[in-house]
A and B are shown apart, each in its own frame.
Chain A
């Protein structure tokens, strides 16, 4: 089992819709969770962090964490074509201080 799993997509949503991106992780001891956005040919950019169970909202983005189910998700409301990118889930795993990344979900927002 991979440490951090994401559906590679592409996930296609129409403009204005809600995009839902999902991630599961294997290390029950993980405490810190992050979502990064990566445009083609660019570096990953941190967009959300979440540390406790529940929802965390920042503008059009909502991160959701369920540690019992080892599940973290990212919702993007009112999706825009500029949201089209690969979204990477990242989790601090193990005792070493390192982020383990999922393989990313490619999101396409269509007009």
Chain B
């Protein structure tokens, strides 16, 4: 039973399209995150939710909109996709202040 599951695993789409990535955790953690890993493998936080409340919103274009319907789910919607959005997006969860458990990642390619 996967602890943090993300779908889809791969996403290839054209510029200008809108896409969503879904994440679910069954660990009972209170905090969920979205991280972006670029081509140089640098992991940078985008958003964090604690018990459905947005607590971290880094400098991310407002084309990116997270949504947490409950504390086990965190989705990421991206409008008007650009070439520079191509990256691997990781969902993660944790207890506040503890180490993360990552999902398997979504490799987004914008063409």
Chain A residues with a Cβ under 8 A of chain B: 32, 34, 38, 42-46, 49, 86, 88, 90, 92, 96-101, 103-104
Inter-chain contacts of A44 with B (CB < 8 A): 43, 90, 100, 102
Main secondary structure of the interface of A (DSSP, over half): strand
Is B43 within 8 A of A88, CB to CB? yes
Q: Which of A32, A38, A43, A86 has the most CB of B within 10 A?
A: A43
Question: Contacts A44-B43, A101-B43 hold; do A34 and B99 have CB atoms under 8 A apart?
Answer: yes
Give Cα distance in the complex from A55 to B44, angstroms: 28
Q: Name the residue on A nearest B91 (C-beta).
A: A43
- Can you list 30 A-B pairs with a CB-CB distance of less than 8 A? A32-B97, A42-B104, A42-B105, A43-B104, A43-B105, A45-B102, A46-B100, A46-B101, A49-B98, A86-B41, A90-B100, A96-B48, A96-B55, A96-B56, A97-B48, A97-B50, A97-B55, A97-B96, A97-B97, A98-B33, A98-B45, A99-B99, A99-B100, A100-B45, A101-B42, A101-B44, A103-B40, A103-B42, A104-B41, A104-B42
